[in-house]
Amino acid sequence: MIKEMNNKIKKIDMWDIALIKLGVALFVLFVITIWPAAMTWVHSVNPWYFLVAFIIVIIRPFYKFYLK
């Protein structure tokens, strides 16, 4: 099963990864648009929390791509 997943992942190129990320961002926008409680939560959270979460999430890929 892991070999199958590795073979499938090898078929994905940079454009596919970019489109996946764009699709996830658009889906999140869709959810917060149709669900008023989610929109209220997003507006009530301090924006700096989102920036800190972004930095935490991006540290490993940034390190592997640029520094390793």
**What pTM, to 2 d.p., does this model score?**
0.69
Q: One-letter amino acid identity for 57?
A: V
Residue 27 confidence (pLDDT): 97
Residue 34 confidence (pLDDT): 96
C-alpha 55/C-alpha 45 separation (Å) is 17
Domain count, the chain: 1
Residue pair 39/49 in contact by the 8 Å Cβ criterion = no
Residue 19 confidence (pLDDT): 94
Residue 21 confidence (pLDDT): 94
* Paired tokens of 20: 């996946």
Listed as ranges, residues in the chain with pLDDT below 70 are none
* Paired tokens of 50: 């989102």
For residue 59, the enclosing domain spans: 2-67
Residue 33 confidence (pLDDT): 94
Residue 25 confidence (pLDDT): 95
